[in-house]
């Protein structure tokens, strides 16, 4: 009997040790799993300068220096706390009421700091200011919009950032579908002029407007012009080369008063008799592009920009 009692005691002790070991192992596994889950929960994205930006959770409050980026974030369901100081109309009254934080050329750092955004969306030219902004809690995402693909990449990345991947995919697909539906087979000789009174440059295929032009069937006569160092998506306007190429249509890209720019450009054309002989001028095909679609990042209105250019090219091609 005594031997049986001792044996049972030994068995109980051994089982206790086994359960204790199992419990420790499960505890360690649970701890490891929790750490891995926490690590997995981090959101990592790369901006257009290849900087990796890490968020502990999906950012809730967003500020942007471009109306197009504001439009995309809004379409994805994000919250805008800071918007550009711009006359470009925004999608809702709520967005209009957001704090104005300057623009890409003149950011207001005091206002940027005051809105305490989780992330500020700017462009690559803002890179020199990143350290200043990130002294606070705000991270900086540097974007670019020099092509339709750039814009689609922005939508996809913002979708990952906000946890709105499905909506982002839907928006990107709608742009692909639009491009497939508007392709013009006949090439139309075209010139894109970025204009402000006294300053005129030719937009290259490496610009957003130039990319849209080529995608809908326009032939950019300035495609071989040398890009400027300060604005690599544009080139100095060469009247001699323009006359030689004889564009069928001339598009004016403006930021300010479009009629004032057109009037100033017409005055500029009068200074050189060669302009008068262009097919575009003789056939009254000098077209002002809507500034909210071509003078800035159009955001989700990119399809409207594609439609406008495609319809214009189709009209000239008749």
β-pairing, 99-100 with 79-83?
parallel
Cα atoms in the Cβ-side hemisphere of radius 13 Å centred on 26: 6
Q: Which residue has the tokens 């999906």?
A: 58
For the chain, give percent helix, strand, coil, nearest 5.
50, 20, 30
d(C-alpha 135, C-alpha 124), whole Å: 19
Assess whether pLDDT exceeds 80 at residue 11.
no
- What is the pLDDT, as a whole number, of residue 4? 52
Reduced to 3 states (helix: H, G, I; strand: E, B; else coil), residue 104 is coil
- What is the pLDDT, as a whole number, of residue 161? 97
- What is the pLDDT, as a whole number, of residue 38? 46
Report the number of secondary-structure helices (H) and strands (E) in the chain. 13, 13
Domain with CATH 3.40.50.1980 in the chain: 45-178, 183-317
Hey, what's the torsion of the CAs at 98, 101, 105, 109, to 10 degrees? -160
- What is the pLDDT, as a whole number, of residue 270? 75
pLDDT above 90 as % of the chain: 66
Hey, what's the torsion of the CAs at 171, 176, 180, 186, to 10 degrees? 110
**Domain 183-317 CATH (choose: 3.40.50.1980, 3.40.50.300, 3.90.1200.10, 3.30.1280.10):** 3.40.50.1980
Cα atoms in the Cβ-side hemisphere of radius 13 Å centred on 126: 28
Question: CATH topology for 45-178?
Answer: Rossmann fold (3.40.50)
Per-residue pLDDT tens digits for 65-98: 999 999 999 999 999 999 999 877 777 788 889 9
Read off the pLDDT band of 254 (50, 70, 90): confident
Phi-psi region of 308 (alpha: psi -120 to 50; beta: other; left: phi over 0): alpha
d(C-alpha 35, C-alpha 63), whole Å: 31
Assess whether pLDDT exceeds 60 at residue 133.
yes
| 217/26: higher pLDDT | 217
Per-residue pLDDT tens digits for 263-314: 777 777 777 778 888 999 999 999 999 988 998 899 999 999 999 999 999 9
């Amino acid at each position: 009997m005594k031997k049986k009692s001792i044996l049972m005691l030994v068995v109980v002790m051994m089982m206790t040790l086994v359960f204790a070991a199992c419990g420790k192992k499960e505890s360690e596994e649970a701890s490891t799993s929790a750490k891995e889950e926490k690590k997995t929960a981090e959101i990592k994205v790369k901006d257009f300068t290849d900087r990796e930006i890490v968020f502990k959770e999906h950012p809730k409050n967003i500020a942007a220096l471009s109306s197009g980026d504001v439009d995309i974030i809004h379409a994805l369901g994000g919250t805008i706390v800071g918007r550009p100081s711009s006359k470009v109309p925004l999608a809702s009254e709520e967005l209009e009421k957001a704090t104005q934080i300057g623009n890409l050329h003149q950011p207001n750092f005091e206002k940027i700091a005051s809105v305490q955004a989780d992330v500020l969306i700017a462009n690559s030219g803002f890179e020199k200011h990143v350290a200043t902004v990130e002294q606070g809690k705000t991270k900086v995402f540097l974007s670019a919009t020099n092509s339709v693909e750039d814009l689609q990449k922005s939508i996809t990345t913002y979708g990952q950032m906000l946890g709105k991947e499905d909506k982002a995919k839907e928006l990107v697909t709608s742009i692909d579908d639009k491009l497939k539906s508007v392709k013009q087979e006949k090439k139309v000789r075209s010139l894109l002029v970025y204009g402000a009174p006294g300053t005129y440059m030719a937009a290259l295929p490496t610009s957003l407007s130039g990319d849209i032009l080529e995608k809908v069937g326009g032939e950019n006569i300035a495609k071989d012009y040398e890009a400027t160092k300060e604005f690599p998506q544009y080139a100095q306007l060469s009247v001699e080369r323009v006359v030689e190429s004889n564009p069928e249509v001339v598009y004016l890209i403006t930021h300010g008063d479009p009629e004032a720019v057109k009037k100033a450009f017409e005055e500029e054309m009068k200074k050189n008799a060669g302009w008068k002989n262009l097919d575009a001028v003789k056939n009254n095909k000098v077209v002002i592009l809507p500034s909210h679609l071509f003078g800035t990042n159009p955001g989700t209105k990119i399809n409207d920009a594609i439609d406008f250019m495609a319809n214009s090219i189709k009209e000239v091609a008749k």
